[in-house]
Amino acid sequence: MTDTSQSQFTTRPPSTLAESAFVSLYGWVYEHSPWVAHQLYERGITEALDTPANLADAMAAVVNGAVDRDKLALLRAHPDLAGKLALADLTASSQSEQTGAGLDQCSADELARFTELNDQYKQKFGFPFIFAVKGFHRTDILAAFERRVKNDVETEFNEAINQVHRIARLRLEAL
């Protein structure tokens, strides 16, 4: 049963698309990781996936079922937040998300702290800090960064995957 309270996609419903069209429309939802859309399509796209929430859950299940090596590659595909070149070298979605959180307006001190934390974080965890920034201000993000850099590797790996899922869900809802 489809939840009719969910907003419908502005494009054709996912269940009506050929694989190439499906991957073209949804392959970007997980940053530089079209394999998620490919694998979901191979599992079968039914009318049940024609809502953003259901499609987000199905895509998350693909990621959650992946081997850790593929999850790590997914995490490493994400850009630094407010890093040295971060805002210049982003996908359109990431640039819009970071700009919306004010990360393009960091003071010199904030930018220096983000850069320092990005370096510490990547050295400790082996992937960039990931935070679904929509609805947050840069000061909130910086505070979360300060807390999360102290996590152990397993906790932070799981948190980063959860943040990636939130980003994907927000992107699908925006369609």
Write out the catalytic residue numbers: 78
Supply the Cα-derived Rg of the chain in whole angstroms: 17
Q: Which residue has the tokens 């939802």?
A: 29
Identity of residue 13: P
Phi and psi at 70, nearest 5°, equal -70, -35
From the CB of residue 124, how many other CB atoms can be counted at a distance below 10 Å? Answer: 14
Beta-strand runs (E) in the chain: none
Q: 62 CB contacts (<8 Å, ≥6 apart)?
A: 36, 39, 40, 43
How many angstroms separate the CA atoms of 9 and 168, rounded? 14
